[in-house]
Amino acid sequence: MRLELRGITKRFGTFTANDAIDLVVEPGQVHALLGENGAGKSTLMNVLFGLYDADEGEVLLDGEPADFEGPGDAMAAGIGMVHQHFMLVPPFTVAENVMLGHEEVRGPAKLLDLDAARAKVKEISERFNFAVDPDAVVEDLPVGAQQRVEIIKALSRDAEVLILDEPTAVLTPQETDELLAIVKDLSKAGTSVVLITHKLREVQAVADTITVIRRGKVVGQAEPTASQEELASLMVGRDVSMTVDKDAAKPGAVMLSVRDLSVVDELGIPRLKHVSFNVKAGEILAIAGVQGNGQTELTEALLGSQPVTSGDALLDGEFITGKPIKDVLMAGLGFVPEDRTEDGLVASMTIANNLILDLHDQPPYASGMALKPSVIDEEAAKHVEQFDIRTTSTEATAGSLSGGNQQKVVLARELSRPLKLLIASNPTRGLDVGSIEFVHKRIIEERDNGTAVLIVSSELDEVVALADRIAVMYHGEIVGIVPPDTDRDTLGLMMAGAKQEEAA
Ligand SMILES: Nc1ncnc2c1ncn2[C@@H]1O[C@H](COP(=O)(O)OP(=O)(O)OP(=O)(O)O)[C@@H](O)[C@H]1O
Ligand SMILES: [Mg+2]
């Protein structure tokens, strides 16, 4: 199907998120849509999918104007979408979620349909190597698995136009490769794909055509042969350094000491097994590993949101395990969670208030019981400027921000108070290349100011770029701690479970 967007304009109040955008996706083409955080990519796709009504312009399918009242109409017309923010119903099972929205699901046929949905989930997960159980309840699944469910849901409809809004942000590198291969296959079979991603390598791997938008306008087209540097500068309008510059660390005293820490989940399965390590003031320890090997349990145990079954942790000599979360944060922990929408932000609260979430009852924001709005606003304005959070007002809700800008709010908040230890899980997930450059600089500054930094990242490039030491996790254990110049093959072997000695 040939898809054409003609002169699409979408405003939120006085703010123009899409400004007369033209875009043509030919049948069977993989069309990459690139742009900075807040450029208007998701908005444009939401217009196409019938979630937003455009203020101006039209959508044409094979030359015929399409007027979608809602996503149901878009799906009926052959459009499928994987959303940047999950649209799943959390208490429902995977199969039920996949079944939802399928036109043919009505009344008494339900039981049969659920079996069909189950079979469909099985079939697609097998084809993709996605280990997704059709009967698992969505809210119990980690983010990576939820992303796979979204993809399965979109693919289950055999769409003619498939919109993928940052589908790989929470996938492992292996899963990403599988998905990109499927995108290629689908396009060969005639499906048109619109792919939104901040990972330029993916664009180079699968795109036939690239359109770049900036501040709501199309600023150019690029060929898939363009270098990452060229794409980056077209996106952000300046040169971006793709490498991280840093001096050697000058580690001080031990700041975080983790001793024999173990976590067993509700089902009795060990998730973290006798983990011990130290992080010194002024150094970055980065944890490499395939997602789901105990990283989440480790960071949450340190924060205090995950009960530990044995062992303890000390921050600057004081026990933090077993303490309330708030006390741990007040003791000098900065925490960037893995799931910003679930744990990092309150979507219905203003950006200003989200920027002081953990501190709202502390001076200088409050004196006694009263909040001090002027101080809060000043601080918020400062953060918005420093972190380049694209918004019309600090009084807008966090939920109205683009995905990458929500991530920047969490980072701005956690990096803007005096810290002894920073724990950041995938700190640059969803950020554009320019913002990644900035955040990496800020993390290194934090290190150079003497903060101990613990990074968890599923991006090996990020681990290698930031780490002073790399700890590799596998099946709940640290299989080794190695220097950052360790070769990729060794790291890969360790991530697959080989002990440090065997891998080397
Ligand atoms: N519902 C809304 N209400 C008000 N403003 C909105 C709303 N949705 C989006 N915006 C604004 O429109 C702009 C474009 O947002 P959009 O989500 O399309 O960006 P994006 O290009 O997808 O960015 P990212 O890479 O961070 O996902 C942002 O500045 C955002 O604040
Ligand atoms: Mg987006």
pLDDT in tens, 300-326: 999 999 999 999 999 999 999 999 998
C-alpha–C-alpha distance, residues 14 and 456, integer Å: 39
The C-alpha atoms of residue 363 and residue 367 are separated, in whole angstroms, by 6
Q: Ligand 1 centroid vs 72 CA: distance in angstroms?
A: 22
pLDDT tens-digit profile of 182-218? 899 889 989 999 999 999 999 999 999 999 999 999 9
pLDDT, mean of residues 107-127: 77
3-state helix, strand, coil in the chain (%, to 5): 35, 25, 40
* 51 has a pLDDT exceeding 90: yes
Q: 42 CB contacts (<8 Å, ≥6 apart)?
A: 84, 165, 196, 402, 403
Percent of the chain with pLDDT over 90: 71
CB 422 within 8 Å of CB 162: no
* Mutational test site, ligand 1, from 9, 11, 12, max ligand atoms within 8 Å of CB: 12
Average pLDDT of the segment spanning 440-459: 95
- Gap from CA of 92 to ligand 2 centroid (Å): 25
Tell me the CA–centroid distance for residue 451 and ligand 1, in Å. 33
Tokens of 164: 């993928």
Nearest protein Cα to ligand 1, atom 7: 400
Structure confidence at residue 106 (pLDDT): 44
Residue 234's contacts (CB-CB under 8 Å, 6 or more residues apart) are 34, 212, 219, 220, 222, 226
At residue 329, the pLDDT reads: 92
Q: What is residue 109's predicted lDDT score, i.e. its pLDDT?
A: 46
Q: Is the pLDDT of residue 29 over 70?
A: yes
pLDDT classification of 142: cutoffs 50, 70, 90? confident
pTM: 0.89
Burial 132-171 (b: 16+ CB within 10 A, else e): bebeeebeebebbbbbbbbbbbbbbbebbbbbbbbbbbbb
Average pLDDT of every residue of the chain: 91
Residues 6+ apart with CB under 8 A from 302: 256, 258, 313, 320, 321, 328, 333, 423, 454
Per the structure block, which two tokens stand in for 425?
A: 């899980």
Q: Which residues line ligand 1 (CB under 6 A)?
A: 12, 17, 35, 37-43, 84, 390-391, 400-405
What's the chain's length in residues? 504
Q: For residue 418, is pLDDT > 50?
A: yes
Q: Find the mean pLDDT for residues 95-102.
A: 82
How far, in Å, from the CA of 400 to the mean position of ligand 1?
A: 7
| CA-to-CA dists, residue 219 to 214, 407, 481, angstroms | 6, 25, 45
Eight-class DSSP state of 305? S
Q: What is the pLDDT of residue 226?
A: 95
The pLDDT, as a whole number, for residue 371 is: 67
Which pLDDT belongs to residue 107?
A: 47
Give residue 3's pLDDT.
96
Instruction: Look at residue 87 and tell me whether its pLDDT is greater than 90.
Output: no
Q: pLDDT above 70 covers what percent of the chain?
A: 95
The mean per-residue pLDDT over the stretch 150-163 comes to 88
CA distance 243 to 235: 17
**Mean pLDDT value of segment 141-162:** 86
* pLDDT tens digit sequence for 226-280: 999 999 999 999 999 888 889 999 999 999 999 999 999 988 999 999 999 999 9
Distance in angstroms (rounded) separating the CA atoms of residues 209 and 400: 29
Report phi then psi at 150, rounded to 5. Answer: -60, -40
Q: State in Å: Cα 406 to ligand 1 middle.
A: 10
The average pLDDT across 459-482 equals: 95
Atom of ligand 1 nearest to the CA of 406: 26
**Between these two residues, 103 and 341, which has the higher pLDDT value?**
341
Mean pLDDT across the stretch 388-392?
Answer: 93
| 208 close to 25: Cβ distance less than 8 angstroms | no
Q: Which helix (H) or strand (E) holds 47?
A: helix 41-48
Helix or strand holding residue 274 (H, E):
strand 270-280
Q: How far is CA 387 from CA 373, 410, 415, 416, 447, in A?
A: 21, 10, 10, 11, 18
Q: 363: pLDDT confidence band, cut at 50, 70 and 90?
A: low
Q: Ligand 1 pocket check: which of 43, 195, 394 to mutate, most ligand atoms within 8 Å of Cβ?
A: 43
Max intra-chain CA distance, the chain: 69
More confident residue, 361 or 498: 498
Residue 480's nearest CA partner among 455, 454, 459, 503 is 503
Q: Helical H runs in 189-294?
A: 200-206, 228-236
Report pLDDT for 125: 87
pLDDT tens digits, one per residue of 164-183 = 999 988 777 777 888 898 89
**Atom 25, ligand 1: which residue's CA is nearest?**
37
CB 25 within 8 A of CB 192: yes
Give me 497's structure tokens: 């479970």
**Is the model's pLDDT at 105 over the cut of 70?**
no
Q: How far apart are CA 33 and CA 200, in angstroms?
A: 11
Other beta carbons within 10 Å of 468: 20
Phi/psi of residue 42, each to 5°? -65, -40
Q: Is the N-terminal amide bond of 364 cis, ω within 30° of 0?
A: yes
Contact 94, 152 (CB under 8 A): yes
Binning pLDDT at 50, 70 and 90, where does residue 441 land? very high
Which residue from 123, 204, 194 is spatially nearest to 159, judged by alpha carbons?
Answer: 194
Alpha-carbon distance of 354 to 360, in angstroms, equals 9
- d(CA 163, CA 157) in angstroms, rounded, equals 13
64 pLDDT tier (thresholds 50, 70, 90): very high
Residues 176, 264, 306: CA angle, nearest 5 degrees: 80
